[in-house]
Amino acid sequence: MKHCFWVALLFSQLAWGQTAVVVPKNSTITDSLQKLEWFGEAKLGIFIHWGIYAVDGVDESWAFYNRKVPYLTYMDQIKRFTASKYQPKEWTNLIAESGAKYAVITTKHHDGVALWDTKQNTWSIPQSAPARRDILTPLVWSLKEKGIKVGTYFSLIDWSHKDYPAVTKDSIRYKLTEDTLRWNRFVQFTHAQIKEVNDAYHPDLFWFDGDWEHSAKEWKAAEIRQAILKTNPNCIINARLAGYGDYGTPEQHVPIQRPKDPFWELCITMNKNWGYQPHDTVYKSTFELISIFADCISMGGNLLLDIGPKENGEIPEEQVRRLKELGRWTKKHSEAIYETKAGLPLGHFYGPSTLSKDSTVLYLFIPGKGEGPFQVKGIKNQVKSIEVLGQQTKGLAKLVGKISWSSVPGVWYFSVPKPSLDPEMTVLKVVLDGKIQLYRGQGGFE
């Protein structure tokens, strides 16, 4: 983004102990930060990869690109894509039960198959599959009715389109530099499809993918952004629009340090693949998903957790169960999740944490089987109270090492009564006597 400088400057000055930067009233970054407020508070989203690749259970688009499957064999799956058991309201209810505040659905992956009734001359489910209907629209409106924010995934790449240069990893139709007219036709087609999605659904979020194959200038990324915001000014855009997005999107790998983007989202799969593959049974446990989620919100980010429905529209039972179990945990600990801020910097507590909006309440996330005591260092404040969130139980607290003549704070030790432990992850609510103040020194006679 052209306003990345202002974003970085603002974030750097919002760090511990610093005052906020004054942003010009009419600046683009002011508008972007206001638009992103809901995203920063939402914390949890559900990613939905659904397409013809679910028929045979192969890699979405990459199966033919990497020559695992012949292109014609891959595309032939469209003839068996039925959506016969698709219940968008059931999907919506499950997403809501998980505690997710937004959902992102693949409108078109790199294979070029559109889930909506596109008016462009291309592959689509309504025109070419036995489903014979627009399967995107009913889900979008169901989510909106439920108050869940809607994100639309859109691949800039279209390996099936006759005017797109690449076909597979080792074959191309033409070189862009040698046929700019053909490339311009493809760009016009892509922009037209983006306009269709934007005009039809007014998504809260556009989740682009595939920008790596061409430059921002070649994609005309600035024009894409401008066109979206012209009629949908509150829409936010992910980072994969060749530098013209609003927030970062690390993928699969959990960050060790907080990403540089003020707003960011980790997208991960429940098992190993994005789309439905029946042989892929290596699922992350509910505890593993919760611990990854806690890490994300501890660093001020979101988790976008993927599901891959079957071709008939059923969501695999393993995924349903995990969403329900996640929902039990998010409902119990909602106070420590939604509308919170990033928690303690590294070194103060060996685990995830969050802070209330006013920074007067600290939430400590502890694996369910751990009773403690747990060490928290460098808090200058007095602790007013401590309780186990979701229980009417007081936690235990002890301050050690505080010396009357020194300004260096002591070390707090917190523990949880064994009967109050959550089976997955316990959260301790620590109420402070004011806005949190941290000691960041080296000890000694300070």
Distance CA 201, CA 280 (A): 33
Q: What is the mean pLDDT of residues 196-217?
A: 98
Share of the chain above pLDDT 90, in %: 81
Distance CA 53, CA 73 (A): 11
Q: Quick one: pLDDT at residue 105?
A: 98
Distance CA 153, CA 412 (A): 45
Q: Answer for the pair 430, 383: CB distance below 8 angstroms, yes or no.
A: yes
Domain 341-432 has CATH 1.10.3470: no
Mean pLDDT of the chain: 91
The pTM assigned to this predicted structure is 0.92
Residue 446: pLDDT band (50, 70, 90) is low
CATH number of 36-332: 3.20.20.80
Distance CA 142, CA 140 (A): 5
| Residue whose pair of structure tokens reads 């924010």 in the numeric block | 149
Token readout for 141 is 């409106």
Q: Quick one: pLDDT at residue 2?
A: 44
Identify the three-state secondary structure at position 153.
Answer: strand
Q: Quick one: pLDDT at residue 441?
A: 85
Residue 370: pLDDT band (50, 70, 90) is confident
Domain ranges within the chain, ordered by starting residue: 36-332, 341-432
Q: Is the pLDDT of residue 26 over 80?
A: no
H or E element that contains 288: helix 286-298
Q: Quick one: pLDDT at residue 403?
A: 84
The two beta strands, 149-155 and 102-108, are parallel
Provide the 10 A C-beta neighbour count for residue 393. 13
